[in-house]
Amino acid sequence: MTNQIDLQDQVNKLQDTVNALNAICQHYLIERLGAYEGAKKYGEYLDFYKQDAIAERAKQEALQELRDNLNTVMSDYRERANSMHWELVLMDEDKRKDCLKKLWNECKTDFELPKGTKQPSITIPQPTFEDLVKRKAEVQGQLDHINTTYLNDCINHSEKRIKEIVKYTEAKYDKAIGEAKRKDKITEADRESQVTSLITEKETVIKRGVSQEKRRIDSAKASLKCHERLTHQLSQVNELIKKSL
C-alpha cells in the first residue's frame, strides 16, 4: 500500500511539473508571438513531439539510412567490378560468379541493408577481336613500365639495410647506454633517466628505419605481384586472340 502511495505521489509531482512547463511554454510563445501565433506554434510543438510522431520520424530515418547504405554498397560494388573488368572477362562462368559473390559480400560487410536485398546482376560482355587487340597493347605497355630486376634489387637492398640499421643502431646506443651507466658525477635518478631516454631513442630510431625499408619492400612486392598478374592476363588475351583468328 505504501509503495502505491509513493508511486502516486511521484506521478502527481511529474504531472505538476508537466503542467508548469506547459504553462511556461504557452506564456513565452504568446509573449513573443502574440495570442494567435503563440497558440498555433504551441499546437505545432505538441503535434511534432507526440510519441507516435517521434516514432514515425525514427522509422523514416532508419529507412533512409538503409536506402543510403544500399546506394553506397551498390555503387562500391559496381565500381570495384568495373575496375576488375578484364579479370572477370577472362574467368570462366563459375569463377566469375564466385568472384562477384565474394566482392558483393566484401562491399556489404559493414552495412545494414534493407531486408530481401539481393546481389545485383552484372553483365560481362564477351570481348570482340578489336577489344582483345587493344587490351593486349594496354597490358604490354604496363608490363614494359615494370622493371622486375630493379624491383628485386630494391627488395634485396632493403632487407640488407634492415639488418644494417638494427646492427649499427644497437651498437651506437648500447655504447652510449654503457657510458651513461658509468657516470659517477650525477645522481642515480638522473643516470636512470638518461639510460631510459637512450633506450627509448634507440627503439624509436630502429623502428623508424625498419618501417621505412619495409614500406619499400612492400611497394616492390606489390609491383612484382602486379607484373605477375599482368603477365598471366597477357597470356590469356593472346590465347583468345589465337582462337579468334
Same domain, 73 and 166: no
216's grid cell? 619499400
Mark whether 21 and 92 lie in a shared domain: yes
Side chain identity at residue 68, one-letter code: D
| Domain encompassing residue 108 | 2-125
On whether both 145 and 235 belong to a single domain, the answer is yes
155-183 pLDDT per residue, tens? 999 999 999 999 999 999 999 999 999 88
147 and 85 share one domain: no
The pLDDT, as a whole number, for residue 2 is 62
Co-location of 139 and 43 in the same domain: no
State pLDDT tens for residues 44-90.
888 888 889 899 999 999 999 999 999 999 999 999 999 999 999 99
- Convert the pLDDT of each residue in 192-224 to its tens digit: 999 999 999 999 999 999 999 999 999 999 999
Query: Nearest-5° angle of CA 203, CA 204, CA 206?
Result: 65
pLDDT in tens, 20-43: 888 888 888 888 888 888 888 888
Distance CA 234, CA 87 (A): 11
pLDDT-above-70 percentage for the chain: 98
Note whether 91 and 99 are within 8 A (CB): yes
Same domain, 76 and 172: no
- This prediction's pTM: 0.66
State the pLDDT at residue 1.
55
Of 104, 125, 146, the domain-final residue? 125
pLDDT at residue 42 in the model:
83
Q: How many folded domains does the chain comprise? A: 2
51 and 102 inside one domain: yes
Which of the two residues, 13 and 212, has the higher pLDDT score? 212
Verify that 121 and 134 share a domain, yes or no.
no
Residue partners of 72: CB distance under 8 A and separation at least 6: 111
DSSP 3-state assignment of 65? helix
How confident is the model over 103-150, as pLDDT tens digits?
999 999 989 999 889 999 988 888 999 999 999 999 999 999 999 999
The mean pLDDT value for 97-106 works out to 94
User: What is the overall mean pLDDT for the chain?
Assistant: 91
pLDDT (0 to 100) of residue 220: 97
